[in-house]
Amino acid sequence: MDENLEPRHQSDRDAVGPHAIDDTPLEDSDAASSREAESLLDAYLADRFALPADVIGLKPDDDADDRASAGSGVARAGSPSGPGLDGLIPVQPMNLRALTSAEAELYWRALDDWVDWLRRDYGLGVAQVPPLWHRHAELRWELSALHTAWLASYDSEASALAPVAWHRELAESLRRLHDWIGQSGTTLAEDRPTQVTLWPGEPGYGTTGSWQDAAVTIPVVDRVVDFEAWLAGDLAARRAVEDQVRATLPTLAGRLAPRRRS
């Protein structure tokens, strides 16, 4: 409190220690407390009352984190579409090959939510973001990189020019997406797996069936159902690798050796 603000009660003037007794009647005490609150507010509005240093140091995200830890939901600073998963995604390049099954489930859902926002807000057609983009590795990598750049550009500590730079990257990214989608031939109604050229010596090289399999189309019936099916397969594959790694790790003092993250 500002030292120029004088005490409102006689008991405040007379108090000389922690055991001083306030004999102010209850009614007078309530009225005095109300006047004290008004005095503090007036002093604050007049810039005569400074907030504590620990309050001044708080950032908006700190308060959001407190609400999230109290069970009121996950804070999503800079989110395009309200409460969701982006607040849990670190602002760093994501190596999609190195994600654990637990990390992958969180990340794929956050990316799927963001891609849906992107194609709606920017009016992107199927030639730029097809419904089954998740089934194409080249599209997953491109959209993941674009998402990471977006998170960095709209971070609270980013430069004011960062969003402009991101939109330049968006234009380049959309051209690459268009080219890759044209090569695979995926459309709104059907999806065709990305064709991969087999090299001499690889299994299936030169066989007619292998080339035909790469061009088999899949009808797009329900995108959400297809995404969940694809996600389940991706997580199962990651868990299988994790189980294999755990089974071959040496034990140290009865405990598994710590896993080295790539």
Task: Note the pLDDT tens digit of each residue in 110-161.
Answer: 999 999 999 999 999 999 999 999 999 999 999 999 999 999 999 999 999 9
Q: How confident is the model at residue 25 (pLDDT cuts 50, 70, 90)?
A: low
Q: Is residue 176 part of a domain?
A: yes
Question: Which token pair is 172?
Answer: 């380049």
Mark whether 42 and 150 lie in a shared domain: no
Question: Number of C-alpha atoms within 13 angstroms, CB side, residue 122?
Answer: 16
Number of domains forming the structure of the chain: 2
Task: Please tell me which residue, 82 or 98, carries the higher pLDDT value.
Answer: 98
CA distances 31 to 9, 45, 159, Å, are 11, 21, 49
Mark whether 41 and 161 lie in a shared domain: no
Mark whether 109 and 189 lie in a shared domain: yes
Q: Is residue 262 part of a domain?
A: no
Task: Please tell me which residue, 19 or 192, carries the higher pLDDT value.
Answer: 192
Please identify, among 11, 32, 56, the residue that sits at the C-terminal boundary of a domain: 56
* Average pLDDT value over all residues in the chain: 74
Q: Is residue 190 part of a domain?
A: yes
Q: How confident is the model at residue 101 (pLDDT cuts 50, 70, 90)?
A: very high
Mark whether 229 and 187 lie in a shared domain: yes
Question: Which token pair is 91?
Answer: 């602002």
Mark whether 239 and 118 lie in a shared domain: yes
Residue 6: predicted pLDDT: 45
Whole-prediction pTM: 0.63
Q: Which structural domain range is residue 109 located in?
A: 89-256
**Which position has the token pair 């009865």?**
254
Mark whether 110 and 208 lie in a shared domain: yes
Contact between residue 114 and residue 82 where contact means Cβ atoms under 8 Å apart: no
Task: Please tell me which residue, 62 or 138, carries the higher pLDDT value.
Answer: 138
Q: Which residues pair with 190 in a beta bridge?
A: 219
Please identify, among 6, 36, 56, the residue that sits at the C-terminal boundary of a domain: 56
